[in-house]
């Protein structure tokens, strides 16, 4: 694999730090990542509270709007997430190669599956050799596509279908997502699946954060900082 | 069968004078905001239009739809049956029987080809060539197909005809099948509910006879005018839902105060029906008003959606019944455990690797 060595400019007459780095995540991907992460955490929390509401409040109904607020936050975060996702999909076409990675899996590529099985063996402690990839390692890419990208679209689609129920049959939500009710004529199924989808994403997040932290420590590559600064450092090249 | 009466005939038969009749037409036209010609057009329509012949058949069902129908208050069912439609055949309430009854079907089919409405209560079982429901010596499914051939439209009464209902519940031994899965070449109007609300049933019929066209249907084939909103959208307890005030347990303080029944499994948020607007028994009440959640009786497969007291479906695929949260939490717990184990192995490996390197 080719890594172009970028030497940070020597602005203050100091010696340039010679550390190979590669620009992986461009700004839109990073902004999307954190915007998306915050939206999803909000959605999971408020979604859970929609499914299992808090203990009843007392007083007049007209003096309270707790459930309404929780639902409002869910919908607001959902709209934010959707707009970010649309921009992110746009970036798939305009951004760099890494911006495309989690939106498809090159199942036709022999090399991909070879590297994939290498990574599986590495996580099973069957090999110690760490390969370096500029973007995601193939296993990460595979997992992200399967356990994140697809579920995310699923959540958006089922979410808007649910929203169309309250918005009404003449709403744009219903115009765009009425077909979901042909798959599940009873919207109770959509609720159940939307709810299950949340748990799928929560599990992804748990694994994702663990793997990111672990990789950062183990592989001596700037994994976490790459999602903040965009650049990935390879702390030692001889490994 | 006598020649079909027109509406005017019926109106006169009920002792209404011609004078009152024209007055009714102009008043109605005015109150509906129609133009000046409408009153005459209306009078003419009522004078010349024959009442729509209706054939009402029964497949696998419990007759709750008929029970509901005969209790319609607005319009009174007697007005529907005796004045608005010409209910030529209904095994449940007609006097004719046997060959005499079968003859009516033949006659209607021939005489009103493409003009009669086929109203079906219940559904046909398809297993064993339809042998689980024999009607007049042949499988009901055959009779259904035969009568549907020449009908103008088919009304699928109730959850049975619309979705399958209890006889189609898992494992559906007789393979009971909703009407729209059997009749493909005619418009099928689904009027689901177990039973449907009486006024919704007569309302659908009134619409067809009055406007001479079929009501607009939604994606699922239900008349939009009664099924385009959920119970939840028009529920009078909705302010308690938005406020976050729930019945936590039966007979608690919240139940006495009439709080929202969401936590006790109310299916109002996923049920399309007119109960919260039209209500039942002449508008006296409906389940939620009586303190019990909606059980979603007008929804597809409502018998297979688990307990009446759970809002979400229990998932049987997981061996024992479990709800979405239990499954999610268990899976998250397992994953969390696996991560802890993985992290531990990672740490140990790291230490041993370092030692190996140092030893070397
Ligand atoms: C990853 C993202 C999301 C998560 C984790 C999530 C989670 C949840 C959960 C757990 C529920 C409760 C389901 C129930 O028990 O009935 C829910 C309800 C809902 N969600 Fe989401 N959701 C997400 C995205 C979305 C999106 C993109 C929309 C689109 C508008 C949306 C709209 C809704 C609606 C309308 C409801 C139903 C609210 C109600 O019945 O009062 N969700 N969500
Ligand atoms: C504090 C928490 C988090 C940290 C430290 C973190 C860190 C990272 C890092 C380092 C990467 C790059 C991984 C690689 O190249 O191998 C990444 C990618 C990604 N993360 Fe996170 N993440 C966090 C939370 C989340 C959350 C909550 C979500 C959403 C559920 C999420 C979704 C993603 C996605 C979808 C990517 C792929 C980005 C792309 O290639 O387009 N992350 N994250
Ligand atoms: S009682 Fe049922 S239908 Fe009424 S507001 Fe509560 S959840 Fe909705
Ligand atoms: S409230 Fe729900 S369960 Fe009860 S009759 Fe209406 S739709 Fe059926």
Nearest CA to ligand 3 atom 6: B260
**Residue A101 included in any domain:** yes
Cross-chain residue pair A53–B219, CB shorter than 8 Å:
no
Q: Which ligand is nearest to the CA of A209?
A: 2
Using an 8 Å CB-CB cutoff, list chain A residues near B221: none
CA distance B38 to B32: 10
Q: Which of these, B164, B209, B213, B211, lies nearest to B187 by C-alpha position?
A: B213
Q: Which residues of B225-240 are buried (b: 16+ CB within 10 A; e: fewer)?
A: ebbbbbbbbebebbbb
**Residue A238 included in any domain:** no
In short, whether A162's Cβ falls inside 6 Å of ligand 1 is: yes
B22 touches chain A (CB under 8 A): no
**Residue A224 included in any domain:** yes
- Could you read off the pLDDT of B195-240 as tens digits, one per residue? 999 999 988 988 888 788 899 999 999 999 999 999 999 999 999 9
Distances, alpha carbon B70 to alpha carbons B74, B76, B94, B285, in Å: 11, 8, 13, 18
Nearest CA to ligand 4 atom 6: B275
- Please give the torsion angle defined by the CA atoms of residues A182, A186, A188 and A190, in that order, rounded to the nearest 10 degrees: 0
- Classify residue B293 as exposed, middle or buried by CB count within 10 Å of its CB (0-12, 13-18, 19+): buried
| Phi, psi at A13, each rounded to 5° | 65, 15
CA distance B134 to B130: 8
**Residue A239 included in any domain:** no
- Could you read off the pLDDT of A150-195 as tens digits, one per residue? 999 999 999 999 999 999 988 999 999 999 999 999 999 999 999 9
Rg, Å, chain B Cα set: 28
B307 touches chain A (CB under 8 A): no
Q: Which of residues 225-254 of B touch A (CB under 8 A)?
A: 228-230, 233, 239-246, 248, 254
- β-strand B138-139 against B134-135: which pairing, if any? antiparallel
Segments forming the whole domain that contains residue A191: 3-12+22-233
Cross-chain residue pair B349–A125, CB shorter than 8 Å:
yes
Choose from A186, A214, A236 for mutation: most chain B CBs within 10 A. A186
Q: Is the pTM of this model over 0.90?
A: no
The alpha carbon of residue A155 is apart from the nearest alpha carbon of chain B, in Å, by 15
- Classify residue A37 as exposed, middle or buried by CB count within 10 Å of its CB (0-12, 13-18, 19+): middle
In short, whether B271's Cβ falls inside 6 Å of ligand 4 is: yes
Out of B233, B244, B332, name the one closest to residue A64 (CB): B244
Q: How confident is the model at residue B189 (pLDDT cuts 50, 70, 90)?
A: very high
Using an 8 Å CB-CB cutoff, list chain B residues near A51: 311-312, 324-325
Choose from A187, A193, A200, A201 for mutation: most chain B CBs within 10 A. A187
Higher pLDDT: B4 or A79? It is A79
The alpha carbon of residue B220 is apart from the nearest alpha carbon of chain A, in Å, by 7
Over residues A111-134, mean pLDDT: 81
Distance B324 CA to ligand 4 centre (A): 24
Higher pLDDT: B346 or B53? It is B53
**Residue A82 included in any domain:** yes
Nearest CA to ligand 4 atom 1: B294
Q: Determine which of A55-64, A165-174, A208-217 has the lowest per-residue pLDDT on average.
A: A208-217
CATH number at residue A56: 1.20.950.20
pLDDT, chain B, mean:
88
Over residues B77-95, mean pLDDT: 81
Q: Would you say B302 and B314 are in contact if contact means Cβ atoms under 8 Å apart?
A: no
Per-residue confidence (pLDDT) for residue B360, from 0 to 100: 57
Q: Which helix (H) or strand (E) holds A23?
A: strand A21-23
Q: Which helix (H) or strand (E) holds A49?
A: helix A27-51
CA distance B168 to B296: 16
Q: How many structural domains does chain A have?
A: 1
**Which pair of structure tokens corresponds to residue A52?**
């299992």
- Could you read off the pLDDT of B266-312 as tens digits, one per residue? 999 999 999 999 999 988 999 999 999 999 999 999 999 888 998 88
**Which pair of structure tokens corresponds to residue B286?**
């409906």
Q: Which of these, B284, B216, B232, lies nearest to B74 by C-alpha position?
A: B284
**Residue A75 included in any domain:** yes
Using an 8 Å CB-CB cutoff, list chain B residues near A124: none
**Residue A76 included in any domain:** yes
CA distance A181 to A143: 29
Cross-chain residue pair A61–B240, CB shorter than 8 Å:
yes
What ipTM does this complex have? 0.84
Question: B65: cis peptide before it, omega within 30°?
Answer: no
Q: Which atom of ligand 1 is nearest to the CA of A50?
A: 12
Per-residue confidence (pLDDT) for residue A21, from 0 to 100: 67
Chains A–B, number of C-beta pairs less than 8 Å apart: 132
Q: Would you say B86 and B5 are in contact if contact means Cβ atoms under 8 Å apart?
A: yes
Distance B306 CA to ligand 3 centre (A): 18
Q: How confident is the model at residue B246 (pLDDT cuts 50, 70, 90)?
A: very high
**Residue A17 included in any domain:** no
Q: Would you say A148 and A102 are in contact if contact means Cβ atoms under 8 Å apart?
A: yes
Q: Would you say B304 and B259 are in contact if contact means Cβ atoms under 8 Å apart?
A: no
Q: Which ligand is nearest to the CA of A151?
A: 1
Per-residue confidence (pLDDT) for residue A111, from 0 to 100: 86
Q: Which of these, B305, B278, B298, lies nearest to B289 by C-alpha position?
A: B278
């Amino acid at each position: 694999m080719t890594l172009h060595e970028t030497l940070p400019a020597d602005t203050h007459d100091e010696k340039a730090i010679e550390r190979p780095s590669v620009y992986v995540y461009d700004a839109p991907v990073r902004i999307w990542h954190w915007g998306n992460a915050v939206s999803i955490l909000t959605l999971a929390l408020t979604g859970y509270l929609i499914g299992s509401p808090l203990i009843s409040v007392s007083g007049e109904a007209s003096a309270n709007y707790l459930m309404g607020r929780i639902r409002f936050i869910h919908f607001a975060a959902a709209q934010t997430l959707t707009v970010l996702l649309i921009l992110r999909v746009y970036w798939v076409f305009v951004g760099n190669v890494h911006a495309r990675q989690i939106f498809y899996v090159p199942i036709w590529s022999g090399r991909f599956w070879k590297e994939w099985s290498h990574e599986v063996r590495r996580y099973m402690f069957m090999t110690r050799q760490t390969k370096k990839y500029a973007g995601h390692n193939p296993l990460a890419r595979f997992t992200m596509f399967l356990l994140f990208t697809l579920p995310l679209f699923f959540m958006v689609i089922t979410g808007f279908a649910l929203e169309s129920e309250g918005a009404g049959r003449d709403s744009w939500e219903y115009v765009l997502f009425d077909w979901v009710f042909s798959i599940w004529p009873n919207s109770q199924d959509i609720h159940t699946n939307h709810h299950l989808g949340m748990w799928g994403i929560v599990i992804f997040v748990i694994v994702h954060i663990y793997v990111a932290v672990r990789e950062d420590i183990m592989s001596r590559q700037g994994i976490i900082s790459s999602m903040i600064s965009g650049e990935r450092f390879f702390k030692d090249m001889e490994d | 069968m006598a020649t079909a009466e027109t509406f005017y005939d019926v109106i006169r038969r009920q002792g209404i004078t011609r004078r009152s009749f024209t007055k009714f037409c102009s008043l109605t036209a005015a109150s509906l905001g129609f133009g000046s010609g409408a009153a005459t057009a209306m009078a003419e329509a009522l004078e010349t239009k024959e009442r729509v012949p209706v054939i009402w058949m029964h497949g696998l069902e419990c007759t709750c739809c008929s029970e509901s129908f005969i209790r319609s208050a607005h319009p009174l069912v007697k007005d529907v049956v005796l004045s608005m439609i010409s209910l030529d055949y209904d095994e449940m309430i007609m006097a004719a029987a046997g060959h005499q009854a079968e003859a009516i079907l033949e006659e209607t089919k021939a005489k009103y080809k493409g003009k009669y409405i086929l109203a079906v209560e219940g559904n046909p079982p398809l297993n064993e060539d339809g042998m689980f429901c024999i009607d007049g010596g042949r499988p009901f499914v055959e009779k259904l197909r035969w009568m549907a051939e020449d009908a103008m439209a088919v009304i699928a009464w109730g959850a049975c005809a619309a979705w399958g209902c209890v006889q189609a519940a898992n494992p559906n031994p007789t393979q009971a099948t909703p009407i729209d899965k059997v009749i493909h070449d005619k418009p099928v109007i689904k009027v689901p509910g177990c039973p449907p609300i009486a006024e919704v049933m007569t309302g659908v019929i009134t619409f067809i006879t009055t406007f001479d066209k079929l009501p607009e249907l939604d994606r699922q084939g239900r008349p939009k005018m009664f099924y385009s909103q959920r119970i939840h959208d028009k529920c009078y307890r909705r302010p308690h839902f938005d406020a976050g005030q729930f019945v936590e347990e039966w007979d608690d303080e919240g139940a006495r105060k009439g709080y929202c029944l969401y936590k006790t499994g109310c299916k109002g948020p996923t049920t399309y029906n007119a109960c919260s607007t039209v209500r039942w028994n002449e508008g006296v009440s409906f389940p939620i008003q009586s303190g019990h959640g909606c059980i979603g009786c007008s929804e597809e497969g409502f018998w297979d959606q688990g307990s009446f007291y759970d809002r979400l479906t229990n998932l049987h695929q997981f061996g024992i019944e479990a709800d979405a949260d239990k499954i999610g939490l268990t899976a998250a717990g397992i994953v969390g455990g696996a991560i802890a184990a993985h992290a531990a192995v990672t740490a140990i490996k790291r230490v041993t690797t370092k030692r190996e390197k140092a030893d070397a």
